Structure 1
């Protein structure tokens, strides 16, 4: 059946009756979320043939998104494997592939590539992005009664599509848990004015050095477990340990007490670092999430706390350090040496932090070598974490803002009994082509785990690296 007749048939049978939209997906959508085609509810989804070609190329590559490409291809094959060529062009119903209000009920179809004569001559080259835009333009022209929407995470492609005449172009936002970064959980709530002036009733219980206050729940908007309450004016700092229907149980820590903590010779320079250090050293916290700008101390605090717990207190057996390396998948095999030696260029931030911690030693390099052996510090590529089971270790995942939610899930599910995971990242420095601050896996992690009693998040504000770095962070 000719493609035009197929589209017209789909238009008559469904769009006129139900006003369903037609979403055309770019490749990066399926790489970002392999099952994204199931997220459009009652609307229909079209995957251009060019997208399948790109997925086919990526699935066999060494890119870190190869697995996502394979997952997406398998999921579409499971739906379409019994469909005839005509049915694949017309659309195969996705009804029954999910449950609840967000379950898909539209159709998934494959759009065959247009010939050069059929394509709208708005581009000077026949590259993949242009072919996908041409497919969307063709569907838009053949379906004047429908809303045809091109969905892509590529900002430049959105601009090109609009310039070429595409009426509806949008980013993929189904996976976004927040609408603006200002709503991202910080891990603490700061009071304006004196905290105790706002407390109308309180019950306090003291056991040893610890004092727990039971206060009214309405004092803190949207409280959650392991959220800090801070009032530097009065010197009060507390940690929410339990939440009831009307009350909060808050462990009284005190600003001075928090600022007095140290790990491996490192003292916090501000209240944000103090809260982060308290969280890192808490054995009841299995997942520590540190966000903040470059120079705020995320990596240094993580390394110092890890050395403190492994060497001084023997709480863990080893330290595993890894990070997101977008380019490492294709280049690591060509670098000489062991995996640790191959990872060295990407983990220089870790060795820099070790140098800072031992800069006053007589032999800095000797001290670093001794500590790395004593603490059993291992440098691992995030690409090789899949399939492992990490027991009784501290795992430091640096630059985690460049990972998707599914990639972070892969790493977190590797953590076995007695393992503590520290995720650090700067959401203003994302290198991935498929992510932005709202869709980063780090953002997803912060929001999804904020109600989990075994995790804690701290957003570090100040840049303490140098006054030059602080000025650059604010002004550039």
Structure 2
């Protein structure tokens, strides 16, 4: 009889402990959720949002105004100018804007790598990691306009919203509903540029594929400005 009472008492104690632990776990969950909501500064629980620069892209001079107008109206734009005049920044910011508004499905960023035959094999990592240092000028703008977390999401291979690759890897590519940014385009040959510009575009939905080609005239130049569609100084 005494043994049976001890078993019953032990069961009751076990149930009490389980209930207490359950309440404690639930309380910790509620506290964690509350903390996350307070940290994010939102009233509803949802996917965390990065702070992103949503300021309008405004031209600072007539040349930038012409550049922005060309991006809005044309599917292929060349831009030339000195360092710091906004060629790459404007193209990357407008690309981010188009991706956010779902005007395009992806952003492709490429540039020639001035090494022995663009061979990056000696660098560690996959092709994205090898090319990352060259991608930095555009990357910084995209992170600011898209937000860091969303940018990392877009870069995931299975997502593919933002793709980076050396210019040598563009051969045979098909671009569909994408913004393609060719940075430092002055360092490609005329034959390479022709190959790039005549790449298959897939289905063209109202010329929604866009190509931005920031060209810096200083230093070694293989593509003359007279071959450009427009000039940005």
TM normalised by structure 2 equals 0.66
1:391/1:419 contact within 8 Å kept: yes
Q: 1:330 to 1:393 in 2, by over 3 A?
A: closer
Task: Specify the alignment match of 1:366 in structure 2.
Answer: 149
Task: Specify the alignment match of 1:441 in structure 2.
Answer: 223
Task: Specify the alignment match of 2:232 in structure 1.
Answer: 459
3-state SS of paired residue (2:133):
helix
Aligned runs of 1:153-302 on 2, under 5 Å? Answer: 265-282=56-73, 285-302=74-91
1:265/1:357 contact within 8 Å kept: no
User: After superposition, what is the alpha-carbon deviation per residue over 1:60-93, rounded to whole angstroms, capped at 9, x for unaligned?
Assistant: xxxxxxxxxxxxxxxxxxxxxxxxxxxxxxxxxx
3-state SS of paired residue (1:333):
coil
2:110 to 304, 307, 322: 322
Task: Specify the alignment match of 1:19 in structure 2.
Answer: none
Unaligned runs of 5+ in 1: 1-262, 359-363, 431-435, 450-456, 461-476
Task: Specify the alignment match of 1:419 in structure 2.
Answer: 209
Task: Please give the alpha-carbon distance, in whole angstroms, between the structure 1 residues aligned to 2:189 and 2:118.
Answer: 19
1:403 to 175, 188, 191: 188
User: After superposition, what is the alpha-carbon deviation per residue over 1:210-256, rounded to whole angstroms, capped at 9, x for unaligned?
Assistant: xxxxxxxxxxxxxxxxxxxxxxxxxxxxxxxxxxxxxxxxxxxxxxx
Q: CA deviation at 1:442?
A: 4.6
Q: 1:397 to 1:330 in 2, by over 3 A?
A: closer
User: After superposition, what is the alpha-carbon deviation per residue over 1:90-149, rounded to whole angstroms, capped at 9, x for unaligned?
Assistant: xxxxxxxxxxxxxxxxxxxxxxxxxxxxxxxxxxxxxxxxxxxxxxxxxxxxxxxxxxxx
User: After superposition, what is the alpha-carbon deviation per residue over 1:354-393, rounded to whole angstroms, capped at 9, x for unaligned?
Assistant: 34546xxxxx633542465688110011111112222221
Task: Specify the alignment match of 1:340 in structure 2.
Answer: 128
2:87/2:214 contact within 8 Å kept: yes
1:399/1:424 contact within 8 Å kept: yes
Task: Please give the alpha-carbon distance, in whole angstroms, between the structure 2 residues aligned to 1:329 and 1:349.
Answer: 22
Q: 1:367 to 1:391 in 2, by over 3 A?
A: closer
Higher share in helix: 2
Q: 1:385 to 1:367 in 2, by over 3 A?
A: closer
3-state SS of paired residue (2:60):
coil
- Measured on the aligned residues, the alpha-carbon RMSD in Å equals 2.4
Q: CA deviation at 1:420?
A: 1.2
TM normalised by structure 1 equals 0.34
Q: CA deviation at 1:320?
A: 0.5
Task: Specify the alignment match of 1:211 in structure 2.
Answer: none
1:319/1:395 contact within 8 Å kept: yes
Q: CA deviation at 1:269?
A: 1.6
2:96/2:142 contact within 8 Å kept: no
Q: 1:354 to 1:391 in 2, by over 3 A?
A: closer
Q: CA deviation at 1:328?
A: 6.1
Q: Which range moves more in the overlay, 287-296 or 332-341?
A: 332-341
3-state SS of paired residue (2:182):
strand
Q: CA deviation at 1:264?
A: 6.0
The yes-or-no answer on 1:390 pairing with 2:180 is: no
Higher share in strand: 1
Q: 1:399 to 1:276 in 2, by over 3 A?
A: same
1:306 to 85, 91, 95: 95
